[in-house]
């Protein structure tokens, strides 16, 4: 156990307490004793409410389980099902039409449309890269990825042939985004031109900036008739600094590192040194960009994603020795750190509107959203912040939230700045909620099921009806294959075309490429057109993706189990052994995919569901796990620190994988965190 100090009856990890007192509270001029007394009082009020909300989740799930068990093997009657969900309080009445009242929102969120990065807050280098991804080189993005439909670069330095193909592609983009750009370079004018200075021209289209850099001495510019050395796109308008699914934070040590990095990017003094090409490089935050009287941000606008309501953390213990809810701890401490920006204590400003932006995941329904808003009220009072300084991003990723989305938005209507769809967690909750209804369709078929189409459309339509356009983000989910940028360019333009003014990307390079889509699509015009369209009803959203009566062949069962087992093991071994919460994990076909706890939730819940309904046997599951352990070992053979799964079935990583499947039906909402945290702590000790 770590050293602890007593703070108003709370037992706080000593290192965390010293950080809070000395690095967070002191610069704010806050009295530490007063803060801790207020924190303890806040916990006394909100911990019992938090526990009651979790108990309600369990109660609703038990009722739904019993309802399905009473109708085992039968098709679900939509009318009867909705009546039942209404009776138990799973479905609540729709609020009367309303418009959100959020104020003091930065333009990157309210009136601009562009990519959004999500980055694990524990990795300082990645965090700096993401914060600096406000601007990106389109030349580099094309040259280094398969987004360019041309022959791969030849090894041994710059490939002039591929470089020429990049230049052609970029000029084609410029012709479409800012017509007349070339005439400007030759001394003319353009409605798209915003500013010029020695060496470059600044254009704007659909609210986003493009910088054409002129440098006759540059290796690329000297051979270009117009001497263009690079074209920079305004790329990741916003970045979510993630303390949730993309990190493995299980104790005070981990949480302290997370809070310290968040403070570093908010204060502007975070730096990271690393070796590259035999040289030690130091990365820091980019400064703003100056064009005469025009100043443009040099960095993404930062959100911080707190954890949900479920987990507790041993960093701070209550008077009775129990761990405090981690979501409450995050709300208080990430806001206290955000208050540095409100007080303008840092090198740079994050929010010029004086707001703190928190994404809140994994909330089930409007009551939980209302609880979060009341919690944020209390945090603002504790920190002496004006009401609604703390803004909320509500992730529409749980079934009860999807089904009651308007009521959820209404519960946070004066502080909401973001809704988005999270297909992965939403699928995990879809499986777990209806776990006992019958076997689910195969995982690959989920994207074609009725509920997912209704889910994606309802999210946008309800957001527009509640007045989010021009005030908040309506977002879409992650492109999970960072090496497949060509395919991303084909598919992800569907997000702005669907009315989403932001969507998640896995890297700064992907942000630069995805930014091209927002030049091609005027999202706010799309939203205006969509506003008059009807919202899909509840029936398709609540259509359970069952495969009743399906008899899969032995080969089909093996294929499905192998796919789930490989993804599960590939992710779990890094989470448990290395403490890596999100990384590019090779899939069954050796394609690198960004994996986090949401993907794990699907794989583990799907296997648990098939086991429960006899679609497979325990022996078949164990056979897949053992064979896929060998595959995952082979995929990680180049990592000298990797500990093989094969032959280590008693080690924490493999045992965690077994628990996730064989205890999957018991896990609250099908979440993986309780088991991952428990086994990671075993590994750490």
pLDDT tens column, 54-65: 999 999 999 999
Contact, 538 vs 82, CB < 8 A?
yes
Q: Which two tokens stand for residue 125?
A: 């280098």
What is each CA distance from 147 to 153, 277, 421, in whole angstroms? 13, 26, 25
Alpha carbon distance 20, 330 (integer Å):
12
Contact, 570 vs 598, CB < 8 A?
no
162 pLDDT above the threshold of 90: yes
Alpha carbon distance 318, 298 (integer Å):
42
Q: What is the DSSP secondary-structure string of 617-680? A: -HHHHHHHHHHHHHHHHHHTTT-TT---STT-TTSHHHHHHHHHHHTGGGSGGG-SHHHHHHHH
Q: Which residues of 602-616 are buried (b: 16+ CB within 10 A; e: fewer)?
A: bbbbbbbbbbebebb
Give me the mean pLDDT over the 131-137 stretch. 98
Question: Residue for token digits 């592609």?
Answer: 169
CA nearest to 493, candidates 528, 448, 526: 526
594 pLDDT above the threshold of 60: yes
Q: Residue 195's pLDDT band (boundaries 50, 70, 90)?
A: very high
Query: What's the pLDDT score for residue 1?
Result: 47
In degrees rounded to 5, what are phi and psi of residue 254?
Answer: -65, -45
Apex CA 497: angle with CA 495 and CA 500, to 5°?
A: 50
Alpha carbon distance 159, 497 (integer Å):
35
Edge-first strand listing for the sheet containing 200-205: 135-137, 228-234, 208-214, 200-205, 193-197
The pTM of this model reads 0.97
Contact, 50 vs 308, CB < 8 A?
no
457 pLDDT above the threshold of 90: yes
Alpha helix locations (H) across 352-413?
365-383, 399-403, 405-411
Contact, 341 vs 349, CB < 8 A?
yes
Query: What's the pLDDT score for residue 2?
Result: 64
The β-bridge relationship of strands 294-296 and 116-120 is unpaired
Alpha carbon distance 508, 487 (integer Å):
17
CA nearest to 116, candidates 326, 422, 340, 406: 422
Alpha carbon distance 110, 254 (integer Å):
33
Tell me how crowded residue 75 is: count the other CB atoms within 10 A of its CB: 12
Q: Which two tokens stand for residue 433?
A: 């909620």
- Residues across the chain: 685
Residue in 242, 396, 596, 633 annotated catalytic:
596
Contact, 643 vs 577, CB < 8 A?
yes
Alpha carbon distance 195, 178 (integer Å):
14
CA nearest to 639, candidates 568, 585, 563: 585
Alpha carbon distance 63, 86 (integer Å):
12
Residue in 162, 260, 299, 305 annotated catalytic:
305
- Catalytic, 305? Answer yes
Alpha carbon distance 471, 484 (integer Å):
33
DSSP 8-state symbol, 20: I
Alpha carbon distance 431, 408 (integer Å):
22
- The dihedral through the CA atoms of 551, 552, 554, 557 has a sign that is negative
Q: Each residue of 92-106: pLDDT tens digit? A: 999 999 999 999 999
Query: Which range (160-174, 283-297, 438-452, 581-595) has the least confidence?
Result: 581-595
Q: Residue 422's pLDDT band (boundaries 50, 70, 90)?
A: confident
Question: Residue for token digits 């007045």?
Answer: 467
Query: What's the pLDDT score for residue 102?
Result: 98
Query: What's the pLDDT score for residue 436?
Result: 98
Alpha carbon distance 134, 102 (integer Å):
25
Say how many Å lie between the first and final Cα of the chain, rounded.
Answer: 10
The β-bridge relationship of strands 356-360 and 301-305 is parallel
Tell me how crowded residue 183 is: count the other CB atoms within 10 A of its CB: 12
Alpha carbon distance 407, 392 (integer Å):
15
Contact, 493 vs 118, CB < 8 A?
no
Give me the mean pLDDT over the 274-297 stretch. 93
Q: Which two tokens stand for residue 46?
A: 């909100």
- Catalytic, 299? Answer no
Q: Treating both helix axes as pointing N-terminal to C-terminal, what angle do 252-267 and 326-342 enclose, rounded to 10 degrees?
A: 20
Q: Which two tokens stand for residue 51?
A: 């526990």
Q: Residue 584's pLDDT band (boundaries 50, 70, 90)?
A: confident
Q: Residue 478's pLDDT band (boundaries 50, 70, 90)?
A: very high
Please report, for the chain, how many H helices and E strands are present, in that order: 26, 23
The β-bridge relationship of strands 502-505 and 473-476 is parallel
74 pLDDT above the threshold of 80: yes
> Considering the chain, what is the average pLDDT of its residues?
96
The β-bridge relationship of strands 200-205 and 208-214 is antiparallel
> In a 3-state reduction of DSSP, which class is residue 421?
strand
Q: What percent of the chain has pLDDT over 90?
A: 93
Alpha carbon distance 19, 574 (integer Å):
29
DSSP 8-state symbol, 551: -
> In a 3-state reduction of DSSP, which class is residue 683?
helix
What is each CA distance from 332 to 50, 251, 437, 455, 503, in whole angstroms? 15, 17, 40, 32, 28
The β-bridge relationship of strands 301-305 and 238-242 is parallel
């Amino acid at each position: 156990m770590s050293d602890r100090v007593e703070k108003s009856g709370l037992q706080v990890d000593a290192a965390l307490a010293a950080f809070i007192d000395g690095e967070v509270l002191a610069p704010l001029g806050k009295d530490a004793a007063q803060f801790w007394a207020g924190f303890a009082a806040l916990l006394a009020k909100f911990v019992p409410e938090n526990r009651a909300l979790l108990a309600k989740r369990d109660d609703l799930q038990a009722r739904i389980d019993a309802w399905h068990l009473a109708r085992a093997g039968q098709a679900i009657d939509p009318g009867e099902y909705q009546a039942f969900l209404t009776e138990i309080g799973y479905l609540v009445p729709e609020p009367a039409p309303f418009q959100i009242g959020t104020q003091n929102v930065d333009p990157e969120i309210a009136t601009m449309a562009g990519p959004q990065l999500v980055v694990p807050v524990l990795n300082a280098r990645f965090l700096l890269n993401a914060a600096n991804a406000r601007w990106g080189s389109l030349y580099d993005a094309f040259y280094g990825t398969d987004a360019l439909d041309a022959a791969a670069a030849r090894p041994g330095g710059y490939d002039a042939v591929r470089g020429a193909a990049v230049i052609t592609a970029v000029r084609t983009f410029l012709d479409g985004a800012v017509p007349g750009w070339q005439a400007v370079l030759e001394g003319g004018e353009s409605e798209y031109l915003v500013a010029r200075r020695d060496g470059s021209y600044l254009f704007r289209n659909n609210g986003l900036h493009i910088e054409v850099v002129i440098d006759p001495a540059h290796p690329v510019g000297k051979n270009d008739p117009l001497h263009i050395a690079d074209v920079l796109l305004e790329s990741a308008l916003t970045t979510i600094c993630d303390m949730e699914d993309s990190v493995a934070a299980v104790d005070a040590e981990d949480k302290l590192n997370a809070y310290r990095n968040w403070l570093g990017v908010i204060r502007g003094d975070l730096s990271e040194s690393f070796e590259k090409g035999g040289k030690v490089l130091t990365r820091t935050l980019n400064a703003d960009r100056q064009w005469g009287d025009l100043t443009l941000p040099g960095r993404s606008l930062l959100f911080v994603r707190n954890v949900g309501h479920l987990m507790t953390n041993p960093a701070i213990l209550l008077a009775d020795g129990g761990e405090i809810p981690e979501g409450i701890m995050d709300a208080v401490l990430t806001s206290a750190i955000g208050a540095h920006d409100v007080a303008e204590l840092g090198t740079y400003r994050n929010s010029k509107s004086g707001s703190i932006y928190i994404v809140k995941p994994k909330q089930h329904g409007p009551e939980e959203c209302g609880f979060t808003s009341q919690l944020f009220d209390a945090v603002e009072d504790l920190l002496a912040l004006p009401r609604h300084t703390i803004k909320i991003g509500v992730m529409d990723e749980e079934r009860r939230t999807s089904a009651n989305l308007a009521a959820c938005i209404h519960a946070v209507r004066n502080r909401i700045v973001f809704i988005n769809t999270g297909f992965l967690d939403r699928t995990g909750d879809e499986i777990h909620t209806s776990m006992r209804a019958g076997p689910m369709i195969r995982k690959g078929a989920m994207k074609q099921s009725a509920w997912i189409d209704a889910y994606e459309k309802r999210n946008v339509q309800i957001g527009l009806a509640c007045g989010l356009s021009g005030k908040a983000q309506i977002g879409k989910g992650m492109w999970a294959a960072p090496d497949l940028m060509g395919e991303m360019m084909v598919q992800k333009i569907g997000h702005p075309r669907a009315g989403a003014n932001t969507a998640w990307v896995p890297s700064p390079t992907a942000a630069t490429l995805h930014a091209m889509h927002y030049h091609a699509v005027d999202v706010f015009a799309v939203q205006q057109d969509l506003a008059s369209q009807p919202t899909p009803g509840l029936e398709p959203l609540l259509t359970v993706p069952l495969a009743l009566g399906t008899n899969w062949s032995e080969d089909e069962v093996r294929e499905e189990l192998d796919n789930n087992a490989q993804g599960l093991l590939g992710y779990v071994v890094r989470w448990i052994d290395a403490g890596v919460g999100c990384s590019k994990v090779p899939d069954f076909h050796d394609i690198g995919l960004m994996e986090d706890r949401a993907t794990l939730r699907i794989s583990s819940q799907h296997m648990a569901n098939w086991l429960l309904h006899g679609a497979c046997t325990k022996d078949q599951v164990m056979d897949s796990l053992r064979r896929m352990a060998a595959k995952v070992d082979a995929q990680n053979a180049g990592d000298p620190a990797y500990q093989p799964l094969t032959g280590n079935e008693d080690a924490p990583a493999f045992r965690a994988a077994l628990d996730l499947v064989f205890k999957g039906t018991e896990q609250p909402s099908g979440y993986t965190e309780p088991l991952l945290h428990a086994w990671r702590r075993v590994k750490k000790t």
